[in-house]
Structure 1
Amino acid sequence: MRLRMRRRLRSGHRPRARARLLTALAVGAALTGGCSPARGGSDEVVPAAQVAEPARGARNGWRLVWSDEFQGAAHSRPDRRTWVFDRGGEPQWGNHEWQYYTDRPGNASLDGRGDLVLTARRERLRGMVCSVGPCNITSGRMTTKGRYARAYGRFEARIRVPRGQGLWPAFWMLGANSDKVRWPGNGEIDVMEVVGRQPGTVHGSVHGPGYVKQGIEKHTALAHGRSLADGFHTYRVDWMPDRIVWYLDDKPYGVARSGRLRRGQKWVFDHPHYLLLNLAVGGDWPGPPDRKTPFPARMVVDYVRVYAPA
């Protein structure tokens, strides 16, 4: 998610065009027909990713190779074969954020209707230690690190963001070589970030060497003062060896190109990245929540999908 400083309810039932889950497939099946990077890239797919049925996944020249549709019983955990949890509070996130991440179902669970819900709550749990803020907010942050990573393709999620000052939902990616190459040398791709004080604007950005504090950022806003929290929207990037293109509801709104970097900047998006979903609260960019910020606050994720060229 955006690293400005040191480093970084749904009402009623809605119809869905949802790909049916087939099974959890092993590495070889997930790689079949995958993207073939033209410049030093490679696919890295770890077992137990949930892969949608290929016959139902192809669209507009892209073939679905990995997804999580978040099917499961209400209050159950996300699939631990696919997701791992980051836990704890600052200073490890580097943005002076207020939330303390947990792996409890109260902060990250399925709703029984095909959604993942990340929930930020005003509460103080035993053992919470925070370097900033009142240390009375819990939330959820999930990643596929060590479970699934990929270089190049189409990465998208359908999400309803929460409403309120100080809330900071994000869908993003980090270089899977992070254990060997420190940020930002491993690369960061922010597919979607929304801050509560700009309820109608989505931000997409990349961070790498030479564009750390202020990444290469693109953004767009809904027309007529509408809020992204009013409904579900699809957030996406198409990642190719020489460029990354951002989309909101299938409409492109920005592009970063390897050939347009400034002196001292380096393109580090030629290797697999893993996925992250989180709901942050407070921090250098969104600012703190206020008395009107509703808690619990919920980030609802309908699906996360990854496509390769068909």
Structure 2
Amino acid sequence: MKMRRILILSLLTCFSLSLSLQVAGQGDCESLVWFDEFDTDGAPNTAKWGYDTGGGGWGNNELQTYTNTRTNSWVDNGKLFIKAVKTNNSWSSARLITKDKGDWLYGRIEVKAKLPSGRGTWPAIWMLPTDWAYGGWPASGEIDIMEHVGYDPGVVHGTVHTQAFNHSIGTQVGKSIQVPDAMSSFHVYAIEWTPESIKWYLDGELYFTFNNQNKTSAEWPFDKRFHLLLNIAIGGDWGGAKGIDPNLTEAVMEVDYVRVYNNKLPKPVIQGSNLKTLDDEVTYAVNDVAGAQYTWTLPDGVSILSGEGTSSITVRWNDAPGDIHVEVSTACDAVVSNVFHVDYLIQPGSDRWDVFPANEAQQLLWQANAGTGNSLNLSEENDALTVDFDITDPGRNPNLYYNFDGLIDLTAINELALELKVDPDNPPSNLRFDLVDVNGNVELVNLFQMNSFDTDESFHFHYHHFASKSDGSFLLNKIAQIRVYVNFGIFGKAGSGRFVIQNMRFQEATSTSVHSLARPSSVSVYPNPARDFVTIVSDEMIQDVQLFSLQGSLIFSKSAIRNQEYQLKFGDMQPGIYLIKVNHSQSELISIR
């Protein structure tokens, strides 16, 4: 499509006639690896086609603006229609591409099409490199399967463009063929592309061969992936070389089918959702290859509901993340897809989610990332995490981290709470607690950071409210990890010591009003008024006790009590009225004197 003039170099062509549709060297192993029969009316299939859109001349001084609307491209009655339309002296058209949806290295590419007519039209069926491995145009190559300019009706051109062979230096290579009824009848335009050559066919008749000279990429850049393009341009350096018919208001190219054959199967690319919850039903699919068998590998507990052995399966998801892959096989080839990872979204069903340091098998769930020269030793005892640190280089940002088994939605329980005790003689210089979302992002403005510590050898309560960013830069509904930095950054100090974390959990925000809390009969607190302590007795098991000021601020919290009686000591608290909350719901006002 880039060419301006046709220059035929007969020394570089090889002519022969053949009615065979068989790809050279592929024999009986040729498989249909990609196709579109346009059998669903409406917009083109988005799993197979994308669009190039916009104007600006497209490097050829073309007049049209490409759109992705149904005005310029649609499927109807088994055919794809691409339509260039003139409106208020401006042209719009469509340029469909298979990039990242159909990319091939070698094979037979064939398109059955009927071309538009009219001076100034420039339809094309062509290919461009997907990865541009050798640089920009023309270094990475271009293959024009079919081009036609409206001022020269019934003449179809097949061409290649490379660094060594292109119109800008007068060396372009190609051949033309007469197709008198190209604008009124369908014809099959095809190439057969192998490591040795590219051959052009019209209705099965070979009319041009471009051979690999086995020199450099300047002559043969055609050892990399290419994708297909279908479009109608209006005007331009070549299409408009003899002007545009002033009475021309529209031009239509019809495509009956596109088929791609190869003896090597392309690597399948799995399409489908990568984030699921328990019992979700979801479809995963790859491109359909005629006659192929499909063997899907799924995580334990994920069951196939329909489509087993085919290119598209519907499954019911389990309660964990996992990996999917599929093997596609024919009599001649087999290929396995890349792993497709599916995250599991945990949606807590209560107002609290505990973060235990170890699992039921006493395997530690936290890991250390100390950095060169630093040491972080982690251990667990009685549901508490002990961290022994020896930091010589704070600039390495030493940290420990906890990976959730999937992603967790913390929108409703966005408060991270914990109890912390430090070595009174060797506390950390600073700590920071981050939540890391699915994209690896953290909340950078409102930090959960500690730069000073109580050194009385007691546990002290800390909590922090996290929130999503409105611009999507931090997703609280898709959290993957908790990360704790120790003696880190430019304010971190070298040193060694120990700290212990217990009762870490996510919970609803603790700030609440006193009048919204009711006292159930199952809880009693005495003495009241009190001076040094109170005893809390409940008919039910006590799991959690919290102490609030009358303003709703959380002063103290204790979790995992697992007893029907608990003694709450006040220490040096100021006299006043406070509220005790048991198991996050049962409450009692007390007076401290």
Range of TM-score over shorter length:
0.7 to 0.9
In structure 2, what is the Cα distance between the partners aligned to 1:138 and 1:268? Answer: 32
Amino acid at match of 1:96: N
Query: 1:212, CA displacement in angstroms?
Result: 2.5
Q: Secondary structure at the match of 1:211?
A: coil
Who is 1:121 aligned against?
Answer: 85
- The answer for the alignment partner of 1:31 in structure 2 is none
Residue aligned with 2:183, SS: helix
Task: State the partner residue of 1:267.
Answer: 220
Partner of 2:338: none
Alignment map for 1:206-285 (pairs within 5 Å): 206-213=160-167, 215-222=172-179, 226-259=180-213, 265-285=218-238
Retained in 1: the 8 A contact 2:213–2:219? Answer: no
Match runs of 1:162-177 below 5 Å: 162-177=116-131
Partner of 1:70: 38
Measured in 2, the distance between the counterparts of 1:217 and 1:260 equals: 19
Q: Within the alignment, does 1:3 sit opposite 2:20 as a pair?
A: no
Could you tell me which residue of structure 2 aligns to residue 94 of structure 1? Answer: 59
RMSD: 2.6
Paired residue secondary structure (1:210) = coil
Q: Secondary structure at the match of 2:3?
A: coil
Deviation at 1:95, TM superposition (A): 0.6
Following superposition of structure 1 onto structure 2, how do residues 279-294 of structure 1 map, counting pairs within 5 Å? 279-287=232-240, 288-293=243-248
SS of structure 2 residue aligned to 1:299: strand
**How far has the Cα of 1:291 moved from its partner?**
2.4
Q: CA deviation at 1:260?
A: 8.5
Note the residue ranges of structure 1 that are not aligned, 5 or more in a row: 6-34, 39-57, 125-133
SS at match of 1:229: coil
CA contact (8 A) 1:176 1:272 kept: yes
Counting aligned pairs with the same residue, the percent is: 39
Question: Cα deviation per residue 1:170-194 (whole Å; 9 max; x = unaligned)?
Answer: 1111111138731212211100001
Question: Quick check: 1:2–1:193 contact (8 Å CA) kept in 2?
Answer: no
Q: Cα deviation per residue 1:104-123 (whole Å; 9 max; x = unaligned)?
A: 10101111x11110000011
TM-score normalised over the length of structure 2: 0.39
Structure whose residues are more often strand by fraction? 2
- Residue 63 (structure 1) shift: 2.4
> Partner of 1:18 in structure 2?
none
Letter in 2 for 1:308: N
Unaligned runs of 5+ in 2: 6-22, 264-331, 333-593
In the alignment, which residue of structure 1 is the partner of 2:50? 84
Aligned length: 242
Q: Distance in 2 between matches of 1:181 and 1:302?
A: 34
- How far apart, in 2, do the equivalents of 1:215 and 1:151 lie? 22
Give the TM-score normalised by the residue count of structure 1.
0.72
| Corresponding position: 1:106 with 2:59 | no
Residue 164 of structure 1 contacts residue 292 of structure 1 at CA under 8 Å; is this kept in 2?
Answer: no
Shift of 1:292: 4.1
Q: Counterpart amino acid of 2:30?
A: W
The answer on whether the counterparts of 1:176 and 1:186 sit within 8 Å (CA) in structure 2 is no
How many Å separate the matches in 2 of 1:303 and 1:252?
20
Counterpart-to-counterpart distance in 1, 2:143 and 2:120? 22
Q: Is the alpha carbon distance of 1:95 and 1:234 closer, same or farther for their aligned partners in structure 2, counting shifts above 3 Å?
A: same
Q: Does the aligned pair in 1 maintain the 2:139–2:217 contact within 8 Å?
A: no
* Change in 2 beyond 3 A, CA 1:200/1:255: same
CA contact (8 A) 1:188 1:206 kept: yes
1:85-138 Cα offsets, whole Å, 9 max, x none, are: 1111124x1111111111110101111x111100000115xxxxxxxxx6x000
Q: Larger relative contact order (C-alpha < 8 A, sep ≥ 6)?
A: 1
